[in-house]
Amino acid sequence: MSEAFLLGDVADVVAGVGFPKDMQGGQDGAIPVFKVGDISAAWLQGKSLLADSRNYLSAEEAKSLGKCVPAGATVFAKIGEALRLNRRVMLGRDALVDNNVMGLVPKREKVSPKYLYYFMQTVDLGELSRSTTVPSIRKSDVVEISIPVPRLAAQDQIVAELEKQFSRLDEAVANLQRVKANLKRYKASVLKAAVEGRLVETEATLAHREGRTYETGEQLLQRILEERRAKWTGKRKYREPVKPETEALSELPTGWVWASPEQVSAGEPYSLAIGPFGSSLKVSDYKTEGVPLVFVRNIRSGSFGGENTVYVTADKAAELSAHSVDAGDVLVTKMGDPPGDVCRYPANRPPAVITADCIKLRVTKVGVDPGFIEYAIASRVVQDQILGITKGVAQLKVNLANFSSIALPLPPYAEQARIVVEVDSHLSIIREVEAEVDANLQRAQALRQSVLQRDFSTASPNADALQPTH
C-alpha cells in the first residue's frame, strides 16, 4: 500500500546560493554551477539529467559558498517566468545552483530520485506563486505539497512503466527538436547571407549592370552625420557620434560601410538608451493598466501584450520619457545568457517604457531601415561582437557604452529594403514550420502529462502497485 506524505517528509528542500560578482570560474574547475537558463536549455533539449555546465568553480571556491546539491536531486526555477513554465530536471552530478533555483533532495530510504522527479512533473509550481507581478515560490510552499509514496519496489515499477512509454514519445520529441535545430541553423544562415551581401544582388552590381550611379553606404552615412550636425540645436557643443570598432572584422561588399549604433540612431536625446535603474522604477510602481512596460522576456519572445503585461501610470511614464518606446524601435537585451536578443517594437502596440536591462535604439529616418538593423544585430556577425563585450560571471551583461560602438554593416538604402523583403520571406516560412513543430511538441507534452497523471493516480493511498497500461 502507499501512504500520502508531505513533500517535506520525503525530501529536503534546498535553495541555491548567490555568486559574488568578482568570483572567476573556469572550465577547469571541479564543481559545475547551474542557473535557470541551464535548466531551461536541458528541458528544451528533452534531457532529464543536467550534468554539463558552461560555468565551473574550484572545489575550494565552491566550499566557500555552501553545500553542493547532490546528484539525483530534482531542480527547478523558483522565481520568474521560468517558474510558470514548470521546467525541471535531475542533477546528474553534485553541483552548485544559483539563488533563483530550488532543489529537492530525496530521502532515499523513502523515495527514489526518479520517482520524485517524475512526480514533480505532475505538479504546477506556478500555481503556488503568491505574487501577481513576478511569480515566485517559497520553501514553505513546496514542503506542503502532498505526494503519494508506495513501497520502493512499487515506485520502481511505476518508473519502469513510465520510461517504457516515454521512450517512444522521447524519440518523436527528439525528431521534432532536430527539426527546430535545423530551422535555427537555416535562420542563422539566412541572416549571415543578408549581412554579407549574398542574399540579394548588391546595389553596386545592379548599378554597374544598368550603367548608373548610386549612393554608397559610406556616402549615406556621411549624409546622415552631416544632417544631424546641421540640425543640432543643443546648448552644449555638438559631439560627433562614436565610430564603430572594426578591428578584426571581415571586409564588406562593395558599396557597404561599417556604422555604429550611435551613428545610425535618430540623433535625438535618448534615441539610444537603456531602461531606468535603481529607484526610478520600483515594483510598487507596477499597475494593471496604463502605459505598458517592456521586459527582457518580451524582447526574447517577441511578444508584447497579453494577460501578464505590467503597466505604469501615464504620469509615471511621462517621468520615464527618456526610456519610452515607439513602433519600429529596435530593442536589445543587455543581460541574459548571453545578452543580445533583438526585436522591433510592433506597430500594433501603444507606446511603452523599457525596463532595466533593455536597450532601445531608435534609428534615423535618413536612409536607414530599422528592419535591416534588427536583422543585422540578430546575425552572427554582430552577435559575436556582443559576446565579445559581455561581462560578468553570476550575471552576464553588456553596458551601453560598449554597445554604442559595435559595428553594424550598412548597405545603400535601396539594398537594405530588398534585403528586408527577402529575409521577411524566409522568416515567414520558418515561423510557419516552427508553429507546426511547437504545436506537435505541445501535444507530446500534453500526452506526457496525461500519462503521468494517470500512472501517479494509481499510486494514491490504498493503491498497492502500478497497473500496467496497454
Class of domain 215-411: alpha beta
Class of domain 3-148: alpha beta
User: What does the pLDDT read at residue 26?
Assistant: 54
Confidence of residue 373 (pLDDT cuts 50, 70, 90): very high
User: What does the pLDDT read at residue 311?
Assistant: 95
Q: What is the mean pLDDT of residues 5-13?
A: 92
How many percent of the chain have pLDDT more than 70?
93
| d(C-alpha 103, C-alpha 70), whole Å | 9
Helix ranges, 304-353 (H): 314-319
C-alpha cell belonging to residue 86: 514548470
Domain ranges of the chain: 3-148, 150-209+414-470, 215-411
DSSP assignment letter at 123: -
Q: What is the mean pLDDT of residues 393-410?
A: 88
- Which residues touch 444 (CB under 8 Å, ≥6 apart)? 169, 172, 173, 176
Task: Name the helix (H) or strand (E) containing 97.
Answer: strand 96-97
pLDDT digits (tens, 9 = 90+) for 12-40: 999 887 765 544 555 555 788 888 888 88
User: What does the pLDDT read at residue 28?
Assistant: 55
| d(C-alpha 268, C-alpha 364), whole Å | 9
Q: Do domains 3-148 and 215-411 have the same CATH topology?
A: yes
- Reported as half-sphere exposure (CB side, CA atoms, 13 A), residue 270 has a value of 12
Give which of 67, 31, 34 is closest to 50, Cα–Cα: 34
Name which residue leads in pLDDT, 412 or 269: 412
| d(C-alpha 391, C-alpha 342), whole Å | 18
pLDDT digits (tens, 9 = 90+) for 93-116: 998 888 889 999 999 999 999 999
Its pTM stands at 0.73
CA distances from 411 to 204, 240, 278, 417 (A): 10, 21, 39, 10
| d(C-alpha 15, C-alpha 99), whole Å | 6
Minimum mean pLDDT range among 41-50, 53-62, 283-292, 394-403: 53-62
User: What does the pLDDT read at residue 29?
Assistant: 59
Confidence of residue 404 (pLDDT cuts 50, 70, 90): very high
AA letter at 196? E
Maximum average pLDDT range among 145-149, 280-284, 376-380 = 376-380
User: What does the pLDDT read at residue 54?
Assistant: 76
